């Protein structure tokens, strides 16, 4: 089925009623869910909410126009009522026999949530029902100025009721949103990358917050490139084994050593990274020692390591 779902109002000057809660906020909460749930059940959905409107009539015209151009099978407009803070309950408008047959189960499902049944009503006077080519209903979910209704209202349950009423299908429960917590492993990685002075792709130090993200990934890739590893941005065992060899601050003598610690030193003193402590690296290390007022002997020992990584 192809549904035209019309999230009521939300297009100033077409704004909804203000009761205990705002109609705009609730039609958005319910309508967005209805759209997602129908799609996850395999239906085609056209959202009829305009981006902007020059007047209320223009807003209503655009909604009908989108539905008509897309030749939807059923048009469903979602609204909330307001009256005198006492009246409460649910009513669904329709203007044809087919419309009434669509309206009745929607009303039944919403009433099953505990709202008072105000019935299926004649909606022939309503612009969006009058001007849509398909069968159309307008759901007044409940009253936004009624404490009873607002205490009962839950956008998820309301959306489920509308979808079940429309399709006869029970919407799949939404997976709970993943709770993102800082990770001790990511925090250790960020601290290590900062200590090794390996910035992200924008040349920035990483935030030490424990949250994995593109900055940490890009710095990890840079580290992996320095170490000659696969640059997948994921700090796995191989990456950590190499890092620990650097953090162990091994004594490196020219022409005698190779490996990840040499590669790291080459990155820091700014020579080509090949992992072999040869003459080019020696000259750069001696320059580094001189600049840092250390003994210029080309041996990377505790003093040089302290200058490099603290």
Which residues contribute to the site for Zn ion (CB under 5 A)? 8, 16, 79
Quote the CA–CA distance of 185 and 95 in Å, as a whole number: 61
For Zn ion, the closer of residues 136 and 269 by Cβ is 136
User: CB of 16: closest distance to Zn ion in angstroms?
Assistant: 5
Residue nearest to Zn ion (CB): 79
Quote the CA–CA distance of 129 and 79 in Å, as a whole number: 13
Would you state the structure tokens that stand for residue 299, as one six-digit string?
A: 């041996």
User: CB of 83: closest distance to Zn ion in angstroms?
Assistant: 12
For Zn ion, the closer of residues 15 and 98 by Cβ is 15
For Zn ion, the closer of residues 8 and 89 by Cβ is 8
User: CB of 30: closest distance to Zn ion in angstroms?
Assistant: 12
Q: Where are the alpha helices (DSSP H) in 139-213?
A: 147-152, 155-167, 184-195
User: CB of 50: closest distance to Zn ion in angstroms?
Assistant: 15
User: CB of 14: closest distance to Zn ion in angstroms?
Assistant: 9
Beta strand residue intervals within the chain, DSSP E = 2-7, 44-47, 74-81, 90-94, 117-122, 136-143
Buried b / exposed e along 199-221 (16+ C-beta atoms within 10 A) = bbeeeeebebebebeebbbbbbb
**Residue 7: closest CA among 33, 40, 41, 43:** 33
For Zn ion, the closer of residues 11 and 300 by Cβ is 11
For Zn ion, the closer of residues 144 and 223 by Cβ is 144
User: CB of 82: closest distance to Zn ion in angstroms?
Assistant: 8
Eight-state DSSP code of residue 147? H
| CA angle (26 as vertex; 20, 32 as ends), nearest 5 | 170
For Zn ion, the closer of residues 79 and 268 by Cβ is 79
Quote the CA–CA distance of 263 and 249 in Å, as a whole number: 13
């Amino acid at each position: 089925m192809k549904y035209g779902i019309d999230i009521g109002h939300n297009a100033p000057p077409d704004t909804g009623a203000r009761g205990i809660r705002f109609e705009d906020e609730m039609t958005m909460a319910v309508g967005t869910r209805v759209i997602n749930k129908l799609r996850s059940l395999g239906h085609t959905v056209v959202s009829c909410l305009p981006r902007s409107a020059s007047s209320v009539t223009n807003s209503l015209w655009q909604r009908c126009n989108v539905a008509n151009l897309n030749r939807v099978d059923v048009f469903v407009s979602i609204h909330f009522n307001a009256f005198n803070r006492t009246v409460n309950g649910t009513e669904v408008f329709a203007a044809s026999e087919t419309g009434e047959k669509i309206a009745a189960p929607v009303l039944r499902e919403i009433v099953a949530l505990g709202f008072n049944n105000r019935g299926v009503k004649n909606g022939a006077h309503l612009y969006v029902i009058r001007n849509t080519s398909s069968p159309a209903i307008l759901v007044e979910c409940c009253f936004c100025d009624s404490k009873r209704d607002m205490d009962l209202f839950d956008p998820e349950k309301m959306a489920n009721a509308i979808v079940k009423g429309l399709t006869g299908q029970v919407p799949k429960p939404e997976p709970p949103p993943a709770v993102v917590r800082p990770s001790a492993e990511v925090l250790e990685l960020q601290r290590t990358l900062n200590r090794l002075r390996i910035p992200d792709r924008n040349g920035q130090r990483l935030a030490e917050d424990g949250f994995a993200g593109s900055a940490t990934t890009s710095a990890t890739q840079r580290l992996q490139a320095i170490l000659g590893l696969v640059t997948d941005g994921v700090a796995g065992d191989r990456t950590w084994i190499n890092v620990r060899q650097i953090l162990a601050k091994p004594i490196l003598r020219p022409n005698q050593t190779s490996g990840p610690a040499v590669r790291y030193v080459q990155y820091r003193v700014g020579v080509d990274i090949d992992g072999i402590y040869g003459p080019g690296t020696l000259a750069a290390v001696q320059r580094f020692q001189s600049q840092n007022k250390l003994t210029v002997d080309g041996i990377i020992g505790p003093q040089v390591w302290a200058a490099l990584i603290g």
